[in-house]
Amino acid sequence: MRRDIDWVFWGSLFLLALFGLAAVASAASPLPHYGQILRRQIEALAAGFLVFGLAWRWPYPVYQGQAKLIYAVSLALLVLVLVVGASHKGHRSWIEFFHMTLQPSELARVGFIIVLADYLSRREKFMDRPAAVGGAVLLAIPVLFLILREPDVSSALTFIPIILAMLFCAGARPAHLLGFLFWGSVSGGVILSYLFFSARYPGGEDAPWPAIFLMRAFHRVLPFAVSFALPFALAAGWRRFAEFLGVRIRLARAMRWAAIAAFGFVCAVSALHALKDYQKKRVIAYLVPESHASGASYHSQQSKIAVGSGGLLGKGLFSGTQSRLGFLPERHTDFIYAVVGEEAGFVGAMGLLLLYLLLIRRILVAAKAAPDRFGSLVCCGVAAMMGFEFLVNAGMCVGLNPVAGLPLPLVSYGGSSLLATFWALGIVANVYSRRLRMEF
Amino acid sequence: MKPFSRIETLWGIMSVGAAIVALRLFDLQVMEHAAYWGAAERNRVQVIHETAPRGRFFDRNGVLLASNRLSFSVVYFPREAAAEKELEPLSRALAPELRLAPGDILGKLREAEKEKTTIRLAEDIPLREMFRLSELKVRYPGIYLVREAQRDYPDGVLAGHLIGYLGKMAPRAWRHLKRLGYRIDSRVGRFGLEKVFEDVLRGQDGGIDLEVDARGRLQRILGRRAGVPGNDVYLTIDSKIEKAASDGLASSPTRRGAAVAIDPRTGAILALVSAPEFDPGDFLSEEVTPGSVSEFDRAISGTYPPGSTFKIVVGAAGLNNDKFSIKDQVLCKGFFDLGPQVFLCWNHKGHGLISWYRAVAQSCDVYFYEMGLRTGPGLIEDYERRFGFGAKTGLSLPGEAAGKLAGPDSLPRGRRRWRQGDTVNLSIGQGGLLATPLQMATMIAAVAQRGKRWRPYYTDHIVYSGELGTYRQKPHLLGKIDLKSEVWADLEQALALVVSSGTGAAAAIPGLEVRGKTGTAQNPHGRDHAWFVGYAGLPGEAARIAVAVLVENGGHGGSAAAPIAREMFRAAFRDQTKSS
């Protein structure tokens, strides 16, 4: 039993949860339903530890056998939320039953890690093929599609680093991952630069030529999409076409990259049409802060003020003016890290950061010690999930990246996130308890 | 490839990400902490300011010229931006209570919301209305009543031009001044000494610090800061003399003019009056706007031909250079024939055979035409400069005029040649020569001191609060007009005769040695300007007061200006002589 427990892992996990409870208790105290919020958070923590304990004892290979079922249940929950979900601030992300609210996308994320780990562990021999990357992406598409329907872009975005990290750890060829990354950066870059130019040159006058090109491209999607899709199609079909002709001309490697870029461009343009106005505003507020005096950039600014005013040692628990007087938005959920920064200062914020690093380090230790490939990949996925969510959330609170509605796992208020995280960490604990007995 | 190197790479990527966040935390919380701390404080603290008492003005004897009294103001402090809808009903509710138009109030409220700063809706509310208004405070959050110091001028118009007035800043000026701690509704010195001494007089406003939440709702009162009153300024003005001059000018024929009194021993200004006067207190209310009253300070900015008072300078020039002697006689037939032109004496009947003393006492023009020609225009112009004509006296008040010299070296634009007729005109202070009443006062003060010219000044001392102590202004000797002592004696005796038996008899006071010279200056704007310059002292002592009085278009200097001078002398010696 003793050897089953990674004390450092458990300790950092427990400290983080405690840290989070204190932060929520402080951040939510001026709110009208303070008692209810605190009670729910304590209940969720209790339930979370229960789930953690169960998952810790539950043999993880069972998940691998039931991967298809988990995938089906995840999709079913995501469909269910679109049908019966409660709408809050324009998102249909919560299912209410009894007195609890469940956020299926949180559970689906952990479920997807299991499903992808199962998929990749069974393709160990074929990881050097592009099909491995393609397969992982195809697996994610139904889940992402349903989450984007809610719509919850931030939540969907967390899947990308998870997929990338798991593919990487599973041994996919870096060139394929780079291609995937290249596609992502082209789509992201096009979206960002389009939004930037449209905010900077609202009327289109005096704009430099790339801006004009982008804006025209946006308004005439179809011709552009076709002209960019053509080389892509050509690249995809070239080998067959060449064989058919009986000639051996190898398409230049650059052509493939061009094709990826074209695909990225098409995706970006379609995404731009799908983005909601408030989402565009968030990104614009990050790119061109002066374009919005209030709104999204106001939140980012107030969060920076909260963190910066905390100083070295902070203003003290329950004494943060930015959070208590309401200047900080979403203080007990998305911006909880800013509350920590304000009330516990640089020391507290760094302490939280180091606890996270310690936790992630121990997850990766479990990944290395895992008895099989599936267990190892699950741990990598969980580490990527925790790491990415922490970095994006903390980065948002200190003004490094745009405002994204992501909770800080284990710390933010929110039952579903807590339960899902505890479940994931419980699986990691189980993997560790079954580690190969020879080393360490 | 080592088995776990990919996991280690993943760990490396995340560590780099964490390091970036850590660096950013260090930057925000340690390097830039002060700036963000300030931003957080500005977020949560709203201040309702209480205007500190402004420094007071006293005269040389400690009589209050400008002071402060306690008053109550209605203040609005801005709340959440969404309160825009509430502004209109609020302005309608306040309008009858404050007796203002709802539109005006709404404008002010909007401005406060825009600038996110507190604003005064009404000031100086009488105590009995206070109780009614304190109910408003309960009904409308954002409305506050504060106590503050309101400027008060106990004597109304007294020294109005010198003291100046306060006014609101122009919006453009405020943008520049707000860095110095001025608020949008602060009053600043706009004119006169209120403007000159703005930095000295201004106190540090106190206030109530309120903690507000993001929606502008009051959370608690953080504390009250006491204001620091401004520094008091003691002027060299003697309010008795100032009052005498003010009353004298107010009852003069045209009620327009200026009077300046100087202590010839130091240059300290005892009185500086420009009539018609204004009450600085009028500018505190909203009705009087700058420009609606006569802000033109005739005493320092008005320039006038000096007329016969200039004969002092002509006499000094001629006698000191032996161009003529006091024994030389001239036959005055009532006119002076210069060949192509004939110049008249003011006394058309003529003064007969006349020499220096009687010529000054009777202000005979023909005598001075002759002596002016003997002296020559170049020498006269030289003495103009020596007596301070054509140059600012150096009194540090904005708007002081330099006047105009006349002579062959100072020909007006467009004139080629100086003619003999010009010399004749110049001999009686006419024809292009222009001087301010202040310049005339410094001229006669120099005569009283036998040539010692002191720079005129108005600050006696400033009492700084705290450890700075007291600043005392020291007299500054500009120079000395070097004349032979017998020339000074001849001048003094002639000026004494003017008062005892000549044109300036109206300035005489039994028991005092009064000397002076009248002037009746022709000018293109209507009736002659009446002048009197003179000085007075106890018998056997140095003169204590030198005055220049001008009544615009007042007619004869002897009848219009000299009596005002007499009242000023009398005020100056009220304590010393019982003989008035």
Q: Are residues B149 and B249 in the same domain?
A: no
The amino acid occupying position A151 is P
Question: Which has more confidence, A257 or B83?
Answer: A257
Q: Least CA distance to B39: which residue of chain A?
A: A305
Average model confidence (pLDDT) across chain B: 87
Mean pLDDT, range A363-382, rounded to an integer: 93
- Residue B551, beta-bridge partner list: B257, B530
Q: CB-based contact (8 Å) between B6 and chain A?
A: yes
> Of B167, B200, B235, which residue sits at a domain end?
B235
Question: Is A364–B10 a contact, with Cβ atoms under 8 angstroms apart?
Answer: yes
- Residue B354, beta-bridge partner list: B330
CA dist B472 and B463 (Å) reads 9
**Model confidence band, residue A204 (pLDDT cutoffs 50, 70, 90):** low
**Model confidence band, residue A205 (pLDDT cutoffs 50, 70, 90):** low
Sheet holding B45-50, edge to edge: B45-50, B206-212, B218-225
Q: Cβ distance B334 to B344 under 8 Å?
A: yes
Q: Are residues B244 and B388 in the same domain?
A: yes
How close B43 gets to chain A, by Cα (Å)? 8
Question: Which has more confidence, A197 or B34?
Answer: B34
Candidates A428, A436, A435; CA nearest to A359 is A428
Q: Are residues B339 and B450 in the same domain?
A: yes
Q: Cβ distance B58 to B64 under 8 Å?
A: yes
Domain span at B524: 239-280+294-572
Q: Is residue B12 part of a domain?
A: no
**Model confidence band, residue A250 (pLDDT cutoffs 50, 70, 90):** low
Q: Is residue B2 part of a domain?
A: no
Q: Are residues B140 and B274 in the same domain?
A: no
> Is 70 exceeded by the pLDDT of residue A233?
no
**Model confidence band, residue B579 (pLDDT cutoffs 50, 70, 90):** very low
Question: Is A364–B33 a contact, with Cβ atoms under 8 angstroms apart?
Answer: no
CA dist B188 and B169 (Å) reads 7
Residues of B in contact with A294 (CB under 8 A): 81
**Model confidence band, residue B126 (pLDDT cutoffs 50, 70, 90):** confident
Q: Is residue A247 part of a domain?
A: yes
- Residue B152, beta-bridge partner list: B67
Question: Is B6–A171 a contact, with Cβ atoms under 8 angstroms apart?
Answer: yes
CA dist B234 and B252 (Å) reads 30
- 3-state secondary structure at position A351: helix
Q: CB-based contact (8 Å) between B30 and chain A?
A: yes
Q: What CATH number did the domain enclosing B178 receive?
A: 3.90.1310.10
Q: Is residue B286 part of a domain?
A: no
The total number of structural domains in chain B stands at 2
**CA-to-CA separations, B280 to B58, B166, B186, B367, in angstroms, rounded:** 15, 8, 17, 47
Q: Are residues B301 and B193 in the same domain?
A: no
Question: Is A346–B29 a contact, with Cβ atoms under 8 angstroms apart?
Answer: yes
Q: Cβ distance B65 to B271 under 8 Å?
A: no
Query: Could you say which DSSP state residue B28 is in?
Result: I
Q: Is residue A438 part of a domain?
A: no
Q: Is residue A281 part of a domain?
A: yes
Question: CB pairs below 8 Å between A and B: how many?
Answer: 123
DSSP notation for B542-561? ---EEEEEEETT---IIIII
Selected residues 506-545 of chain B with any CB under 8 Å from a CB in chain A: none
Structure tokens at A395: 């980065």
Q: Is residue A439 part of a domain?
A: no
Q: Least CA distance to B218: which residue of chain A?
A: A325
**Model confidence band, residue B222 (pLDDT cutoffs 50, 70, 90):** confident
CA dist A285 and A198 (Å) reads 12
Q: Are residues B181 and B260 in the same domain?
A: no
Q: CB-based contact (8 Å) between B70 and chain A?
A: no
Q: Are residues B194 and B260 in the same domain?
A: no
Helices of type H across B182-302: 192-196, 198-201, 239-250, 298-301
CA dist A208 and B9 (Å) reads 40
Q: Is residue A191 part of a domain?
A: yes
Question: Is B7–A306 a contact, with Cβ atoms under 8 angstroms apart?
Answer: no
What is residue B390's predicted lDDT score, i.e. its pLDDT? 93
DSSP H/E element including B137: helix B127-139
Degrees, nearest 5: CA angle B330-B336-B338: 115
**Model confidence band, residue B149 (pLDDT cutoffs 50, 70, 90):** confident
pLDDT tens for residues B364-374?
A: 999 999 999 99
What is residue A110's predicted lDDT score, i.e. its pLDDT? 95
Domain span at A134: 2-433
Measure CA A412 to chain center.
15
Q: Are residues B206 and B272 in the same domain?
A: no
- Residue in the block written with tokens 């209030």: A294
State the ipTM, two decimals. 0.86
Report chain A residues touching chain B, CB-CB < 8 A.
165, 168-169, 171, 294, 302, 304-312, 321-322, 325-327, 341, 345-346, 349-350, 353, 356-357, 360-361, 364, 367-368, 376, 380, 383-384, 387, 390-391, 394-395, 398-400
Question: Is A394–B40 a contact, with Cβ atoms under 8 angstroms apart?
Answer: no
> Is 80 exceeded by the pLDDT of residue A30?
yes
Q: What CATH number did the domain enclosing B330 receive?
A: 3.40.710.10
Residues of B in contact with A398 (CB under 8 A): 21, 24-25, 28
pLDDT tens for residues A258-303?
A: 777 777 877 777 777 777 777 777 777 766 665 554 556 778 888 9
The total number of residues written for chain B in this structure:
580
Q: Is residue A289 part of a domain?
A: yes
CA dist B396 and B49 (Å) reads 33
Q: Is residue B29 part of a domain?
A: no
Q: CB-based contact (8 Å) between B43 and chain A?
A: yes
Q: Are residues B231 and B249 in the same domain?
A: no
Q: Is residue B559 part of a domain?
A: yes
The total number of structural domains in chain A stands at 1
Q: Is residue A335 part of a domain?
A: yes
Q: Are residues B482 and B376 in the same domain?
A: yes
Q: CB-based contact (8 Å) between B215 and chain A?
A: yes
Question: Is B24–A398 a contact, with Cβ atoms under 8 angstroms apart?
Answer: yes
